[in-house]
Structures are given as structure tokens and as C-alpha cells.
């Protein structure tokens, strides 16, 4: 799928460009492939957790907590953006974490339903552990254990030993690790009886407890194994054995997970059988289990920490982080990449931010979205359930329905393109009408009426183009001057399927009818108003060109030796030669599309399909647009 070098490899150039959002400047290497894996979010080592409806984690380099809705596949950033946070935990409709905004390390509670934050500690705390369960929050402050009841708003000290750590809580008990006797022991507190009791007090080290009903699971570090203490009868029992260290145990009801060396193991308390879920587990934060889900972290081949979700019932990995299935129809523009996430229920549009490495589903979860196009400000897609075009304002986070059948608008599912805030689309309700819509104002302007649906459309800067059929075999390319509101036929009555606009040129592939030469590339110089051949060879075909700025991507078979075996070429129109930029030898390129300064495609090289992207030029600076936006708002 990759052409062999025609020129020397391009030395990676560092790109630094200002971005409207105020985030750090985007820096990456031109010509370097980037794999977009939104199903396994890149996170920091600050912690993560899972409950019935939600998962929480923190993205590397960000100060907010990511709240992920497991049912809807949507995520929200919560918490103050200017303070360091660690240990995010979630249960029911509440999230807690440790926060530095008040000068120390305090416990903050977030009510998901009310979208409200509350500080639970006194502002001068030195908290080093926090947990939540059944509307109870516990933490340790200078070695003492505190319990906060969400239902009443009351806080009490349940242990004042000054040696406590790693607290956990359920509806009936609080448990923790305690070194009051010089070594690690397990203590617990009966919430109803208001009594502190010793669970495991013996020689050696016992620590990192986890609670479920009346059982406390913990690490016996003297033997590096997992034990269980049953509160009702006071008995201890060894659950694991073997030579590897067992640690980071976490339980839900009778199920529990732990790290066995670098392996992630799942077991039940009353059974000796075990299941290995994964390997190369990240060693600083342990796995979390709730119901049929196990949440855990491991480092990828680039040493980045990624979050994984495993379904015990289905016995498979579950996409996490706004996606529900395989990617398709990718589109890109400078900072952003959008694609369709295909699932059993419906298709969703995922927007990936190349700067922050974050993603989110932007289409309605009840709809069925397809074929996104993206600019620096908007994403547009076709919704198959509503038979309408929708847009998403990236900066405002607002979704808008563009077309409506009540207004006699039935957009083509295939023929619409975007440039900045302009959308070119075809209305096929009665006849083929070509419209340009200003996405910022919602104003529709009809620019042409065609006899039938065109073969292709494109829009770039001051021009739009479409290809109209003149018969069964021939077609005409029309170039439309948007500001001058006039059109011209730049190529008439030839065999052509699509045309695209770049910097001062229009490019297409044309079949001359010569069986030997086949399909060749031509271009139209907009300033000089002249057609010229771009690439013509005595053998082989050059087909399906795409243009973005000064680059042209097309399919070629002249070096493959087989007429049906095409590969992709990248041609620099400004330099008048093939580009030095290349994709990897292992690339399996499907559905490539150009937009802005980048190429995006779906790639199966990793067995499962992923979206890949490659930048061929520096990105545009949008600061001027921001200033205009600010003036408009004022």
C-alpha cells in the first residue's frame, strides 16, 4: 500500500503553531504517523475507579477529573482546572478526589446530578488516601481516619491512632491499614455500633485492605499473598499461593482482582479457580472491579499509560472513552480528527483533539451518524435516522441540525464538504440544488440547480467545484467563484468522476479513452484559467485524486505490475514533484482522506482497525479568527 522512495526521506521538522484554545502550542513531527486509540484513553498515574454507571480517571497533563458515563459513552471534565488532583474515586452519583487548591491536600466531593462540588476536609488537611462507598466517604489526615456521611453531612473521626493509611468503606464498615504497633495491621470500624476493632493484628506486615459485605481482603506482605478476614466470625484465610507477589487486591461482593507479578488475575472468594485477564499490568495503581467490569492500566509500546476495560461476562475488552466499535470514515483538519465509531446500536461521531490527546462523542447517542467532515471550527455529518445534516461547533460544544425536511430539504448522503464555516451540500428533495450554508449564521444560499445529483463536490477558500454528468460516459467540471457568484466550465464532456480544489488549482483524473495510457491526472490553474496535464505515463492509471492546500493524494498502479493493485502516492503541487513524506512499510491504508495539513485513514496493521494520521505541513494559525470571534461577542 506504500510507494517506494522516489526522493530521500524528509528529516522530521518540528511544528509549533498557536491554537485558539489557549492550550500549549501543538508540537509534532511532520511526516510522523500517529495512531489514534480513543478506546483506551491515555491517563496519568493519579488513579482511576469504576462503579455501576461511571468510571473516572485523569488525563496526563490535565488537572480536571474525567467522568465517563458507561451507558452513554460520553465524558465530562469535572473539578477546578487550576489545582492538582489525585485519587479520583466514584460510587453511585458521587465522585471524590484529593485536591491541592486550598494550599494543602483536601477531600472534595462532586454531586453528579447537581453538578456541585463540596470540600469535605477543613482546608488545612494533609490527606493521603480517600475512598467512597454507599454514600460514605473516608480519608486519612495525618494518620487519623475520618468518615463523612453524605446522607447527613456529618463527619466523625473513627480512628485517632495517627498511624492509619489506605482507608476503605462500605455501608456498614470502615477498614484501614494501621501501624500503631510498629508494623502494618488491619483494623475496622463498625459504623452502626460506632466501635473500632482489630481485624488482623499479628507479626509481619498486613496492608491495603478492600471491603465487601462482611469480608476484608488484604495483602499479607510477609508471604506476599492475598488473605481474607471474615468480620462475622473473626477468621482469616489464605486465598492465593505461589512464588509471585500478590498485591493491589480489590473486591466486589465475592469477586476480586489483583496483580500476580505483572499479570491481572480474577477470582472469587469461595473458589480455587482463577482467570488471567491480561499481562504487563501497570504496577503503581491496582485494578478496580465492579459488577462484570474490571478497570486497569498498562503501558503501550510508546510507554504511555492507557486505561483498559474488561467485561467478565462477555470475556472481552470493551472500548472505553467515547467509542463503541470499529472506526470508519475518518476526516481531519490540522488540530482535529473526526471519525465514525460503529457499534451494534448505532454509529457515533467521535472528535479527537490532537493537542490534548482527548476524544469525545459529539453526535446524539439516539441517532445514527455517518461520514463526518471537519474544519478548524466545525464538524458536520449526515444522520441516517433523521435524514438530515448536523453540525457541531467545536469551540462552543453545541450541536445543531442544519437541514429540515419541513423546509423541503433532503441532503445527499455523500455530497457535502466543509471549509472553515462554509458548508457546500446538495439538496435532492426535488431536483439537485447546490447550497452553501454559513454554519455560524445558519443562512442557506442556493448557488446552482443541476439536472441530476453531481458525481462530486468540493469547497476551498473562495471557490466551490462540482462534477456533472453529460451522458453515460462523459461529464463536465464546474468551478464556482463564491464571492463573484459566477460559475465556469473548466473541463467539458470528458470521462471524469471527481474534482478537488487546492491552493490555486483544481485537480482530477481523466480517462482519455486510450487503453494503454488509461487514467491520467490533470489540473486547472485558477489564476491563469488553463488546463494542463499533471501526471501522464505511457502505462498505468492515476485515479481518485484528493487535494488539500498544496498536496495531492491519489491512487496509482503503474509500479505494481497489476492493473487492479493500486497503492497511494503523495504529490507536492508547489514543488512539482512527489513528496518525501511517506507512511510506514507496515501500513494497511483504507479510506484515506485529506483535510487541512493532514492525511487520515483506517489501518488494520494492529489486527484491529485504528485511525492513523500523518501531517504533511504545519497547521494554520487561528489566532486571527479568535480575535474576530471575540469582537463579535463583544
Structural domains counted in the chain = 1
Predicted TM-score (pTM) of the model is 0.68
Distances (CA, A) of 423 to 383, 402, 410, 461, 464: 16, 10, 15, 11, 10
**Is residue 125 a part of any domain in this protein?**
yes
Asked whether 378 and 394 are in contact (CB, 8 A), the reply is yes
**Is residue 128 a part of any domain in this protein?**
yes
Expressed as residue numbers, the domain containing 188 is 66-318
Q: What is the pLDDT of residue 9?
A: 24
Q: What is the pLDDT of residue 302?
A: 67
Cell of 523: 489540473
Cell of 108: 472534595
**Is residue 256 a part of any domain in this protein?**
yes
The CATH number covering residue 308 comes to 2.120.10.30
Question: pLDDT, tens digit, for every residue of 404-430?
Answer: 999 999 999 999 999 999 999 999 988
Q: Is the model's pLDDT at 258 over the cut of 50?
A: yes
Distances (CA, A) of 533 to 229, 476, 525, 537, 542: 81, 17, 11, 10, 12
**Is residue 203 a part of any domain in this protein?**
yes
- Of 89, 195, 176, 98, whose CA–CA distance to 133 is shortest? 89
Percent of the chain whose predicted confidence (pLDDT) is above 90: 72
Question: pLDDT, tens digit, for every residue of 355-385?
Answer: 877 777 788 877 889 999 999 999 999 999 9
Q: Is the model's pLDDT at 621 over the cut of 70?
A: no
For residue 306, what is the DSSP state?
A: E
Cell of 33: 504517523
Q: Is the model's pLDDT at 16 over the cut of 70?
A: no
Q: What is the pLDDT of residue 361?
A: 78
Question: pLDDT, tens digit, for every residue of 578-604?
Answer: 999 988 888 999 999 999 999 999 999
pLDDT band at 517 (very low <50, low <70, confident <90, very high): low
Q: What is the pLDDT of residue 46?
A: 94
Question: pLDDT, tens digit, for every residue of 194-244?
Answer: 999 999 999 999 999 999 889 999 999 999 999 999 999 999 999 999 999
Q: What is the pLDDT of residue 29?
A: 74
**Is residue 530 a part of any domain in this protein?**
no
Q: What is the pLDDT of residue 518?
A: 85
- Of 273, 242, 243, 238, whose CA–CA distance to 255 is shortest? 273
Q: What is the mean pLDDT of the chain?
A: 89
At a CB cut-off of 8 Å and minimum separation 6, what does 379 contact? 336, 338, 349, 351, 362, 372, 373, 391, 392, 394
Q: What is the CA radius of gyration of the chain?
A: 30
Summarize the confidence of residues 501-519 as an average pLDDT.
86
Cell of 57: 480517571
Q: Is the model's pLDDT at 40 over the cut of 60?
A: yes
Contacts of the segment 406-415: beta carbons below 8 A, 24+ positions apart: 411/382, 411/387, 412/453, 413/370, 413/371, 413/382, 413/384, 414/371, 415/453, 415/454, 415/456, 415/457, 415/466
**Is residue 620 a part of any domain in this protein?**
no
**Is residue 386 a part of any domain in this protein?**
no
**Is residue 378 a part of any domain in this protein?**
no
Amino acid at each position: 500500500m506504500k510507494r517506494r522512495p522516489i526522493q530521500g526521506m524528509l528529516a522530521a521538522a518540528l511544528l509549533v503553531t498557536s491554537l485558539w484554545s489557549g492550550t500549549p502550542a501543538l508540537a509534532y513531527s511532520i511526516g510522523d504517523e500517529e495512531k489514534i486509540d480513543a478506546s483506551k484513553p491515555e491517563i496519568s498515574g493519579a488513579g482511576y475507579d469504576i462503579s455501576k454507571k461511571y468510571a473516572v480517571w485523569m488525563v496526563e497533563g490535565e488537572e480536571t477529573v474525567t467522568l465517563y458515563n458507561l451507558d452513554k459513552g460520553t465524558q465530562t471534565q469535572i473539578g477546578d482546572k487550576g489545582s492538582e488532583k489525585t485519587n479520583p474515586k466514584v460510587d453511585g452519583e458521587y465522585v471524590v478526589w484529593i485536591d491541592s487548591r486550598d494550599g494543602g491536600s483536601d477531600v472534595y466531593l462532586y454531586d453528579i446530578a447537581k453538578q456541585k462540588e463540596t470540600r469535605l476536609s477543613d482546608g488545612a488537611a494533609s490527606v493521603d488516601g480517600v475512598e467512597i462507598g454507599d454514600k460514605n466517604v473516608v480519608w486519612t489526615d495525618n494518620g487519623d481516619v475520618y468518615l463523612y456521611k453524605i446522607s447527613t453531612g456529618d463527619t466523625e473521626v473513627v480512628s485517632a491512632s495517627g498511624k492509619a493509611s489506605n482507608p476503605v468503606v462500605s455501608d456498614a464498615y470502615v477498614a484501614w491499614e494501621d501501624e500503631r504497633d510498629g508494623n502494618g495491621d488491619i483494623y475496622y470500624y463498625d459504623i452502626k455500633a460506632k466501635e473500632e476493632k482489630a481485624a488482623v493484628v499479628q507479626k509481619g506486615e498486613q496492608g491495603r485492605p478492600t471491603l465487601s459485605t462482611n469480608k476484608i481482603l488484604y495483602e499479607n506482605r510477609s508471604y506476599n499473598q492475598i488473605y481474607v478476614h471474615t468480620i462475622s466470625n473473626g477468621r482469616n484465610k489464605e486465598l492465593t499461593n505461589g512464588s509471585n507477589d500478590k498485591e493491589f487486591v480489590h473486591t466486589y461482593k465475592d469477586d476480586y482482582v489483583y496483580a500476580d507479578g505483572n499479570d491481572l488475575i480474577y477470582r472469587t472468594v469461595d473458589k480455587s479457580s482463577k482467570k488471567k485477564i491480561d499481562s504487563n499490568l501497570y504496577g503503581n495503581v491496582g485494578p478496580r472491579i465492579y459488577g462484570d467490569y474490571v478497570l486497569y492500566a498498562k503501558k503501550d509500546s510508546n510507554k504511555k499509560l492507557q486505561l483498559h476495560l474488561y467485561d467478565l461476562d462477555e470475556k472481552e475488552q470493551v472500548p472505553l472513552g467515547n467509542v463503541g466499535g470499529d472506526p470508519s470514515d475518518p476526516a481531519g483538519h490540522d488540530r482535529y480528527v473526526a471519525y465514525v465509531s460503529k457499534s451494534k446500536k448505532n454509529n457515533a461521531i467521535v472528535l479527537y483533539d490532537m493537542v490534548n490527546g482527548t476524544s469525545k462523542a459529539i453526535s446524539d447517542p439516539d441517532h445514527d451518524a455517518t461520514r463526518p467532515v471537519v474544519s478548524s471550527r466545525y464538524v458536520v455529518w449526515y444522520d441516517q435516522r433523521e435524514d438530515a445534516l448536523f453540525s457541531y461547533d467545536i469551540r462552543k460544544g453545541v450541536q445543531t441540525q442544519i437541514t429540515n425536511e419541513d423546509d423541503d430539504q433532503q441532503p445527499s448522503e455523500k455530497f457535502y464538504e466543509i471549509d472553515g464555516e462554509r458548508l457546500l451540500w446538495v439538496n435532492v428533495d426535488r431536483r439537485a440544488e447546490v447550497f452553501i450554508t454559513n454554519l455560524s449564521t445558519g443562512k442557506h444560499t442556493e448557488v446552482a440547480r443541476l439536472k441530476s445529483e453531481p458525481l462530486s463536490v468540493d469547497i476551498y477558500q473562495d471557490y466551490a467545484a462540482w462534477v456533472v454528468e453529460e451522458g453515460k460516459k462523459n461529464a463536465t467540471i464546474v468551478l464556482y467563484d463564491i464571492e463573484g457568484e459566477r460559475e465556469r466550465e473548466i473541463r467539458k464532456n470528458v470521462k471524469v468522476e471527481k474534482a478537488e480544489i487546492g491552493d490555486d488549482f483544481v485537480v482530477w483524473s481523466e480517462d482519455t479513452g486510450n487503453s494503454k495510457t488509461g487514467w491520467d491526472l490533470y489540473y486547472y490553474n485558477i489564476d491563469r484559467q488553463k488546463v494542463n496535464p499533471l501526471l501522464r505515463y505511457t502505462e498505468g492509471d492515476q485515479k481518485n485524486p484528493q487535494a488539500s492546500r498544496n498536496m495531492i493524494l491519489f491512487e496509482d498502479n503503474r509500479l505494481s505490475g497489476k492493473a487492479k493493485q493500486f497503492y497511494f502516492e503523495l504529490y507536492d503541487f508547489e514543488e512539482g514533484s512527489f513528496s518525501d513524506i511517506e507512511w510506514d512499510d507496515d501500513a494497511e491504508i483504507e479510506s484515506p482522506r485529506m483535510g487541512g495539513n493532514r492525511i487520515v485513514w483506517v489501518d488494520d496493521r494492529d489486527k484491529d482497525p485504528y485511525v492513523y494520521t500523518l501531517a504533511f505541513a504545519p497547521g494554520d494559525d487561528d489566532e486571527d479568527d479568535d480575535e474576530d470571534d471575540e469582537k463579535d461577542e463583544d
